[in-house]
Every structure is written in structure tokens, then in C-alpha cells.
Amino acid sequence: MIKDLFIRKTLAQLEIQADGDHNSLKRHLTAMNLVLLGIGCVIGAGIFVLTGTAAAIHAGPAIAISFVISAFGCMLAGLSYAEFASMIPVSGSAYTYGYATMGEFIAWIIGWDLILEYLFGSATVAVGWSGYVVSMFSDFGIEIPPAICQSPFVFDTNGWHLSGAIINFPAIFIIAVMATLLVIGIKESAKFNNIIVLIKVFVILLFIGFGISHIDVQNWQPFIPENTGVWGQFGWSGILTGAGVVFFAYIGFDAVSTASQEAINPKRDMPIGILVSLAVCTVLYIAVSLTMTGIVNYKELNVAAPIAVAIDSAGKSLLWLRPIIKVGAIAGLSSVVLVLLMGQSRVFFTMASDGLLWESFAKTHSKFKTPHITTIVTACFAAFFAGVFPIGLLGELVSIGTLLAFIIVSIGVIILRKSEPDAKRGFRTPWVPLVPILGAIICFVQMISLPSDTWIRLAGWMLIGFIIYFTYGIKHSHARKNRKAQGKEFQFIRENPPNRTS
């Protein structure tokens, strides 16, 4: 029984699953589409939302160092992702890679973890989108009542308390719109994302270019605020906690890997999409965090729209830039919601295709050839969390889920080098096992730096997952059924050997 928990999918089986005759998803995505998908997801909540929150609560101006630490860990994990993606062109990201290296039970843990990552990720970004929409409407004299545009709950350094609001309606609205677009088709979704990425990168460059002249170096003093005596509240522990929180910002290349089954040439293009998007986004993150904390004191940035606060603080000289930044943020965050919902639905789809979740989740739309059921279910849950919970809490849950997935993928590369040394690899992670081990260690350090409450919530989420796996998934696993069928066939042949003539 215990041995069966670690039944693996072979690379040959995964190749068959990805083959055109067996693939119910359409292959439309080029290398450029994948790069822009990655940038579309990475350049979003991290820059437009979480940079300010993490600076105000954890790291101060040293949030730039947090981004460097996270980027280094991401780079190491990204190299491992790139090798897997070049070998296994199937949707499911780290879930699929875990199935091929460590077996079904570990794959389930990763898949359930990825569901946490994308579900709360899309909710987090939707809350940030809401903040910028409310701010933009306010610029035009239209005040949206706080009761319908804020979370009913607030979670900060003082703990939990009520805000007096009823629901965050704009956050629910953007999730519904993006889910509808995803149901219509991946090709249409990719075109929308490509346009949005160009807009928001241009807007970010405008903010950096014109914001530099408004930096007051006094806002960087002290660059690393003194620790308050509580782990994670400033000082070097705050930098590490900040790195763990903003790690959420880098899940874009993980989202790229969920689209393998819809890439035209995944073995060549997936590594390009993962590594190029990561490199571009790291440079932009560091530049934006330094500019933002230079324009306005970090203590004022614990808001859903921190760049908007920075622009407002710069005075009349940057007044013209305010609507452009907000439009860019709104458009940019829209594409992030799109990519995260896409990643979530593809993980659901792949797990259901393996029999570990309900069969209805593995169905595709008869006309659009998209996993419409999983997209709709994902959107409903994401809309609920976005409408009720605050952005800081949601962001921490996403980060711990992402870090866990990265650790398992890094370890998986080492295992696959041993178990499948001769398998064809379109990309090889350099200096194995050093690079994967360093990636796993850096990610683990960031995980343990996150608040203890986040670990408790992760444990609760995993408990729910274990209940589903042991009551449903383990009974309906296709891999397990195939092994039993092969065993019965072998037993029949042994008991009934074919007649042989001399």
C-alpha cells in the first residue's frame, strides 16, 4: 500500500499524454507568447501592490534587497523548471514533474499546493486591481463607497479587526471578466495578454524614468530599519520575511510551465519563456522598489495601490503621470489575474485527467477546446476570497505555496538525473546537484521566515487535500488502475501459458 503511494508516471507515458492525438488542448503558443505570459504574470501584483505592503510591514527601503534574495532563489529554481519543461511538455507544471520523479502522493501534495498558489494568487491580484480602480475613479470625482470596495476584514501588525465593509465588489468583477475570456480560448487570451504586457512595461519605465528625479534620499534613511524586537518586523529578519512575501511576485515562470501542453514547440520554447521572463522582471522589480521608497516614506505604503501613493506624493510635477500609471496598473493587473486563473485551471485539468480529481474537471469545451469547467470553478472560489479577505494575508499564502513547489522541483531534478540519466533534455540545469540544492535551501530559508500563522494555514489546506486524496484520488488514480490491470494480465499469462508446439 505504501509503495503504491509513490507510483510514478514514466517519461514515455507523459510523451503520449502530450501527443497531438491525445491532447485535447490546442497548441497555439510561441516562444514570444510564453515570454510575454511570464512577464504578464510577474509584472503585476509584485510591483503594483506587494512592494509597498512588504516595505511598510517588513523591510522598509531594504525591500530592494528582499527582491534580490528572491530573484536569486527564483533563478536557481527556474533553471530546474527549465530542464523539466524541456523534457515533459505536459500541462501541470511542478505537479507533473513531481509525478515523474517522486511518485503520485508527492505529486498530489505539489498539485494541491499549486492550487493554493494560483487560487490565492488570482485573489490577491484582484484585490490590488480593485485598489487602483477605486483610486482612478476618485481622481475623476467618483467615490466608490468603501462598503463595496474593501475587504470586510483587516490583517496588519495589530492582528485581525473588522473594516466595516461588506464586500470587495471590483475584485470579484475582474475575476469574472478574465475567467470569461479564458473560457473563450487560449489564443484570444494570449493576444490580450501580449497587448497588456507592452502597455504596462511602458508605464513602469515611465514611472522609473520620471520618478528618479523626485527621489529624496532621506526616505532611504535608515535603509534597513531597526528590528522592533519581533521576527520579520524590519532588520535582517524583516528583509528575509519580505523576500518570502514578495516571492509571490515571481510565480510567473511557474505559470508559464502550466501551459506546456498548449505550446507549439515546448521542448525548445519553454526554457526560453521561463528564463527570459524571469531576467526581465527582476531588473524592473529592483528599480521600481528603489524608486518608490525613495519618493515616499515606506511607512505610508501599506495600501493596495502604493505606486499611486508615490505619484501623489511627488506633487504637481508628476500629476500628468498619475492617470497613466493607474491605467497601466489596472491593465497590468488584469493580465496577471488572467494568467493565474489559467495556471489554476490547467493544474486542475491535469490532475483530473490523471483521475486524482473529479472527471468533470478534465472536460474541455466542445467549441473553444478550453477546460471551461475548471476555469469556472476556479473563478468562483477566487472571487469569494478576493471579495472577503485582505491582500496581505492572501499574498503570504501564495508565497508559501510557491516556495514549497520550487523546493520540490529543485529536488526532482536531482532525482531525475539519477533515474533517467539518458533521457533527452532540451535544456540541462548547470552544476547539478549544486544549483538545485542551493535553490531548495534559499527557498526553504524564505519559507521559515514567513509568519507562523501562514504555516498553520498551509497545514490546514494540506489536511483538506489529504482527505480528498485518500477518500477519492487514491481510488480513481489512472496510474494505479493501469498498474493493477497490468498485474492481472501478467497473472493470467503466468497461470495460462500459451500452448507451444515442437
Query: If you average pLDDT over residues 143-152, what whole number do you get?
Result: 90
Q: Could you tell me which CATH class the domain 3-495 is placed in? A: mainly alpha
Rounded to whole angstroms, how far apart are CA atoms 344 and 168?
Answer: 22
Least confident of 18-22, 209-213, 352-356, 495-499: 18-22
So what's the pLDDT on residue 438? Answer: 93
C-alpha cell at 27: 497548441
Query: If you average pLDDT over residues 488-492, what whole number do you get?
Result: 48
Cβ proximity of 136 and 406 under 8 Å: no
Cis-peptide into 222, omega within 30 deg? yes
- Tell me: pLDDT of 291 over 50: yes
pLDDT range class, residue 278, cuts 50, 70, 90? confident
Query: If you average pLDDT over residues 156-162, what whole number do you get?
Result: 69
Q: For 7-11, which contacts have Cβ atoms below 8 Å and span 24 or more sequence positions?
A: 7/103, 7/104, 7/477, 7/479, 7/480, 7/483, 8/99, 8/100, 8/101, 8/102, 8/103, 8/104, 8/479, 9/96, 9/99, 9/100, 9/354, 9/479, 10/100, 11/87, 11/88, 11/100, 11/420, 11/423
Cβ proximity of 400 and 458 under 8 Å: yes
Residue 127 vs residue 48, higher pLDDT:
127
Residue 317 vs residue 228, higher pLDDT:
228
Rounded to whole angstroms, how far apart are CA atoms 328 and 323?
Answer: 8
Cβ proximity of 111 and 356 under 8 Å: yes
Query: In this predicted model, what pLDDT tens digit does every residue of 36-71 receive, in sequence order?
Result: 877 877 777 667 777 888 899 899 999 999 988 888
pLDDT averaged over the chain? Answer: 82
Query: If you average pLDDT over residues 409-413, what whole number do you get?
Result: 89
Rounded to whole angstroms, how far apart are CA atoms 38 and 252?
Answer: 5
C-alpha cell at 40: 504578464
- Tell me: pLDDT of 501 over 50: no
Query: If you average pLDDT over residues 410-414, what whole number do you get?
Result: 90
Instruction: Give the phi and the psi of residue 168 in degrees, each rounded to 5.
Output: -95, 85
C-alpha cell at 335: 493580465
So what's the pLDDT on residue 18? Answer: 55
Rounded to whole angstroms, how far apart are CA atoms 429 and 406?
Answer: 14
- Tell me: pLDDT of 187 over 80: no
So what's the pLDDT on residue 51? Answer: 83
Q: Residue 389: name the closest of 40, 124, 198 by CA.
A: 124
Query: If you average pLDDT over residues 157-181, what whole number do you get?
Result: 86
- Tell me: pLDDT of 119 over 80: yes
pLDDT range class, residue 253, cuts 50, 70, 90? low
- N- to C-terminal Cα separation, the chain: 43
Rounded to whole angstroms, how far apart are CA atoms 439 and 116?
Answer: 21
- Tell me: pLDDT of 184 over 50: yes
Cβ proximity of 101 and 272 under 8 Å: no
pLDDT range class, residue 297, cuts 50, 70, 90? very high
Record the pTM.
Answer: 0.76
Residue 377 vs residue 74, higher pLDDT:
377
In eight-state DSSP terms, residue 390 is: -
- Tell me: pLDDT of 19 over 60: no
Least confident of 102-106, 290-294, 480-484: 480-484
C-alpha cell at 447: 519559507
Rounded to whole angstroms, how far apart are CA atoms 242 and 299?
Answer: 14
C-alpha cell at 287: 528599480
Q: Where are the alpha helices (DSSP H) in 2-62?
A: 11-18, 31-42, 45, 51-54
**What stretch of H or E contains 155?**
strand 153-156
So what's the pLDDT on residue 27? Answer: 67
C-alpha cell at 280: 526581465
Highest mean pLDDT among 12-21, 177-186, 352-361: 352-361
So what's the pLDDT on residue 500? Answer: 45
Residue 116 vs residue 441, higher pLDDT:
441
Query: If you average pLDDT over residues 156-181, what whole number do you get?
Result: 85
Strand partners, 435: none
Q: Where are the domains of the chain?
A: 3-495
How many Cβ atoms sit within 10 Å of the Cβ of residue 452?
Answer: 10
**Which regions of 279-362 does DSSP assign to beta strands (E)?**
none
Rounded to whole angstroms, how far apart are CA atoms 109 and 181?
Answer: 29
Query: If you average pLDDT over residues 23-37, what whole number do you get?
Result: 72
So what's the pLDDT on residue 356? Answer: 93
Residue 495's identity, in one-letter code, is: E
pLDDT range class, residue 16, cuts 50, 70, 90? low
- Tell me: pLDDT of 22 over 50: no
Residue 446 vs residue 157, higher pLDDT:
446
